[in-house]
Structures are given as C-alpha cells and as structure tokens.
Amino acid sequence: MNQLLLSSQRLETCKVLQNGKLNLFEALQKIASLELVNLEVELPESSIILEWKEVQTPATPQSFKDLVGKKLGEYKFQYLGRFIQEETPVEVKKEQFVARFPTENITDDTIENTGWVNCTWLIDFLVGADKIEKDGFRKEFLIWRKDEAKKEYTLALSRESIHKASAEQEKFVFNEDLKTIAWDHQILFSGQQSC
C-alpha cells in the first residue's frame, strides 16, 4: 500500500517541474475573513516559509484512489512542501495516512519521512480559497487552533463528499515553538451507499 500513497517518499522520485515559496502566516492572514476559514487563535509572531516543489501526480490504480486520498488524487500536480523557520527546516516527526470506517481501520500507514510533506491541498486552499468559497460543490474548511494542554498548533483542512459517503481531513501539527511538525491525512468512509 505504501507504494500507492501520495507520500513524500513517492513524490520525491518524480521529476520536479518548478519550485516556489510563500509565507504561511501571511497567506493565512489574507484569507482569514472568509467563512470557510477559522483562525481560533492568533497566528504566531514568527515567520514560517513554505517552500514547495511541483511534480506530476503519479498514476494510482482506480481501485485504490479512494483509499490513498481522493482529494489528493484529484490534482494534476502534487506539491511537496517543507516549512522553514528562521532559515532552519522544521523537523518532520511523522507522516501518516489513515483510511477507516467508523468502527475499524482499513489502512494505517506511517511513512519514513524525507523532510518534506504533501502540501498539495494546503497550497491549493491558500491560493484559491476565495474560489473554493464560491464553489457550492467544494465543502472544504481550514482551521488554525492551539491545544494548550499539548502545547501544539494544528492547521487542519477538511472536506465532506457531496453525498456524505466520506470525509477527508489533513492535519499539520506544529509543536509550540514551531520547530517540529507531524502530518497526517485521514479518510473516513460512512459505510453507507449513496443513491
């Protein structure tokens, strides 16, 4: 299953088409007034740069597309990203893909990380949030919150399918000083058939 995931390991083997970068907190601030964005706490004072590499989306067999991330598989290109704070890369602690029904896991794969994570959905959201908000078929949301007990920030993207047969969520969890990050992509299937 690992070979089919749109993980940093798999994307690192693809030819880089172009590179870019953006200031994460400035980009979040620009879209903060949209209804689909919820910044529950103030953004930190420090700056986080998101460097990215664009690659062609590798082919995934149709029968596995829902399991590896329907949202990620919709894109023609994938964006490998790494976060930089004060010219130092933020250490990636974990990269995980989970697909499950409400009562049982289908897959739960933790990937040996390359220092980069799949930022395709995040970059699409940051640069196209105004269009996403106007599109009645894209039920997507972004939340920035802080868990005081765990001393960590979470940047989460989520979407629900139109027929409510599945939901997807992608989380970027930074520790409080923004020096480490954990990434995970989760798919929940309702177990109900849509009409």
pTM: 0.89
Cβ(54)–Cβ(78) below 8 Å: yes
Question: What is the strand order of the sheet 166-175 is part of?
Answer: 37-39, 140-147, 152-160, 166-175, 180-189, 91-101, 104-111
What is the tens place of the pLDDT at every residue in 92-142? 999 998 888 888 888 888 988 889 999 999 999 999 999 999 988 888 999
Please give the Cα distance from 84 to 90 (Å, whole number): 6
What is the per-residue pLDDT across 135-186, written as a single tens digit (0 to 9) for each? Answer: 888 889 999 999 999 999 999 999 887 667 778 899 999 999 999 999 999 9
Listed by start position, the domains of the chain span: 2-189
Torsion on CA atoms 131, 135, 140, 146, rounded to nearest 10: 40
